[in-house]
Structure 1
Amino acid sequence: MIDSRRTTPLGKQIVVTGAAGFIGSHLVDALTERGCQVMGVDRRNVTDDPFAAMNLAVAAENPQVRMVHADLADADLAEVVAGADTVFHMAAVPGVRTSWGDRFPDYVRSNITATQRLLTACEQKGVRRLVIASSSSVYGTSNGPSREQDPTGPLSPYGVTKLAAEQLCLAHARRADTALSVVALRYFTVYGPRQRPGMAINQLLLSALTGAVIPLYGDGRQRREFTYISDVITATLAAAEAGVKAAVVNVGGGTSITMQQALQLAGEVTGRPVAVAELDDQAGDVRATEADLTLAGRVLGYRPAVELHDGMAAQAAWLATLTDAQRHSLLRDQLAVTR
């Protein structure tokens, strides 16, 4: 639902769920640069998760940030969101391949049940805007640029849970008795510094930097639209102030390329070869992702600014600043995710 009126500004009191993660930690940093007071919520603990600690290294030194160690599926969320103007819901269990089988109950608990509990708390405490991180995985098979009004048909349990979370948010926002408004952002494969293990760009760049052999699923001709983290943060902040009541909006990088092209780019930006082991297609992997960004331009004023070559070079430069132990730890975790 598009509203021609602009909503009230972002506000000063902000909650970010999934604050210790890839996107969440970048969002926390961007919000503090705007002068916001941020409460970050995450079930990961910086004391025993080295990557959470690394992601929050800047935020941990900032008096504008208060971190809360909590699980959204059972915490007192009314207390968490009390006084917040905007809630950015970045928390979720990610991953297409790992969503099959025994781990599925955690996807339901973290992606659906936790979202429902957060929505109820936001309504109770008068939060005006919730921005939720959704995924291009909700589309499933596509023969061209995906538009928000296209039919959805996720091919993985992960995609099913993200679509369910979207629909819960929209249902709450459309209630006649609520002041809560919602924007669900369908992110298309986000990459950049702090990218989580198991994602393609991290795999390719770490292979080049360490010489490790990494898996390449399928024939390499499958296409992905990659979106740099700073573009995602720009769109996410814009979503907090967009003139909408209940909306779903694509956020993409502007170009869809094959995995073979991505492999070649990784070699170019590092100056080193990428070693891959070719494996069969995996259940849930779609053949192509590509975003139609017409609505993003109209509602968010969004246009991607970072070219893939430049973004991959920035990510490679960040990986190069890590210690050998950190890189090998990231690679070890990454290969565990992709098995």
Structure 2
Amino acid sequence: MARSKTILVTGGAGFIGSHLAEALLARNDRVVVLDNFDPFYEESIKRRYIQKAQKSSDYRLVEGDIRDSDTLERLFAEKSFDAVIHLAARAGVRPSIEDPVEYCSVNVDGTSKLLEACRNHRVETFVFGSSSSVYGNNRKVPFAEDDPVDRPISPYAATKKAGEVICHTYHHLYGMKIACLRFFTVYGPRQRPEMAIHKFVRKIFNEETLDQYGDGGSARDYTFVADIVRGIVAAMERASSYHIWNLGGSECLKLSELIAAIASEVGKPAKIRQLPLQAGDVDQTWADITRAREELDWKAETTHGEGLKQFISWYREHAGVGRSE
């Protein structure tokens, strides 16, 4: 059995981070979570997400901001980390258009300060949660890691591209082992309330009208959170230099198909209001996972049908039909 590790997970109280923390604890790793409980959505929701992990003696929660160098210095001085998995970020394409300065502050400045703390305290392995949004509106599909990513169409995408570039610089200068993981539309239990699947499920359950931007022809490569977590752990274990890996389901689902599938699973019709496409939204995402399959022995295992069933089951039990969270 591999020796247990001490791992820092930034953003570890959020959607992906809370699942990751539980998976690491299940491997007998020691987990320190750094999260500032940003009011992007209700703090109480995140508090519930970490209750299971907090029962473990190998779990520690530190409340703080990745942009606070003093907080980082104290944390890294107290603990010697085998790896840092950096998931803390301002998320979302549309909100980034409203507040690009804050997105740059958190996603670029925060990432830089975290990398500097890792350098100062000789952390060898750094995993960066990037995004499929870096591909912009590339016409070549599926998206492969070597495709051009120099034309982002939202501030969020630009900050994720910037994070990858900063990571490469720290690998080049200081020899850090770094994995940049381009996540493709992650969904599943604990998904953020403003994200499409969560919002559509809530609206259909409550028999409310949902907003559909465009004619329903836009498509996304939806990836179940448990598959993403497996990919993160595999990348942490196999990072040996500087890597970029796509983590996606490698299967596209049109928006109209997604809404129909949710309505079928919920057992109620969808009431749809069609609106114009929004600035910053890409037409399509689709992951080429050849590299992840070959180098990480990874592929998504959860079908859209299975994943939606799991999410809706979780929603019924935890979010509560008729509630707005």
Q: Report the TM range for the smaller structure's normalisation.
A: over 0.9
Q: Is 1:25 aligned with 2:35?
A: no
What is the alpha-carbon distance in structure 1 between the residues aligned to residue 222 and residue 85 of structure 2? 22
Structure 2 partner of 1:4: none
Shift of the 256–79 alpha-carbon distance from structure 1 to 2, 3 Å rule, reads: same
Counterpart position of 2:33: 40
Q: Determine if the alignment matches structure 1 residue 317 to structure 2 residue 313.
A: yes
Q: Partner residue of 1:6?
A: none
Partner of 2:43: 49
* Contact persistence 2:142–2:287 (CA under 8 A): yes
TM-score by length of 2: 0.94
SS of corresponding position for 1:328: coil
Task: In structure 1, list runs of 5 or more residues that go unmatched.
Answer: 1-8, 331-339
Look up the equivalent residue of 1:80 and give its one-letter code.
L
Instruction: Verify: 1:80 aligned to 2:78, yes or no.
Output: no
Aligned partners of 1:100 and 1:208: how far apart in 2? 28
Identity rate, percent: 34
3-state SS in 2 of match to 1:322: helix
Residues 232-243 of structure 1 mapped to structure 2, 5 A cutoff: 232-243=228-239
Tell me whether 1:221 sits opposite 2:214 in the alignment.
Answer: no
Distance verdict in 2 for CA 1:282–1:119, change over 3 Å: same
Q: Residue 173 of structure 1 corresponds to which residue in structure 2?
A: 171
Partner of 1:328: 323
Deviation (angstroms), 1:299: 1.6
Compute the RMSD of aligned alpha carbons: 1.7
SS at match of 2:118: helix
* Residue of structure 1 in register with 2:88 after alignment: 91
- Give the Cα separation in 1 of the matches to 2:88 and 2:272: 31
Change (3 A) 1:269 1:168: same
Residues 117 and 28 (structure 1 numbering): CA distance in 2 closer, same or farther, change over 3 Å? same
Question: 2:178, 2:239 within 8 Å by CA — same for their partners in 1?
Answer: no
Instruction: Tell me whether 1:123 sits opposite 2:119 in the alignment.
Output: yes
* Uncovered stretches (5+) of structure 2, i.e. residues with no partner: none
CA distance in 2, matches of 1:237, 1:275: 40
> How far apart are residue 120 of structure 1 and its match?
0.6
- The verdict on how the C-alpha distance between 1:316 and 1:30 changes in structure 2, with shifts beyond 3 A counting, is same
Choose the corresponding residue for 2:153, options 152, 155, 160: 155
The 3-state SS of whatever aligns with 2:324 is helix
Measure how far apart 1:193 and its partner are. Answer: 0.3
1:264 equivalent in alignment to 2:260:
yes
Separation in structure 1 between the aligned mates of residue 289 and residue 115 of structure 2, nearest angstrom: 27
1:31/1:38 Cα in 2 relative to 1: closer, same or farther (>3 Å)?
same
Is contact 1:174-1:245 (8 Å) kept? no
The CA deviation at 1:267 is 1.4
Supply the distance in 1 between the matched residues of 2:238 and 2:52 (Cα, whole angstroms): 28
**Match for 1:296 among 286, 289, 292?**
292
Does the CA-based 8 Å contact 1:99-1:158 persist in structure 2? Answer: yes
1:280 has 2:273 as partner: no
Read off the aligned partner of 2:131 and give its amino acid letter.
Answer: S
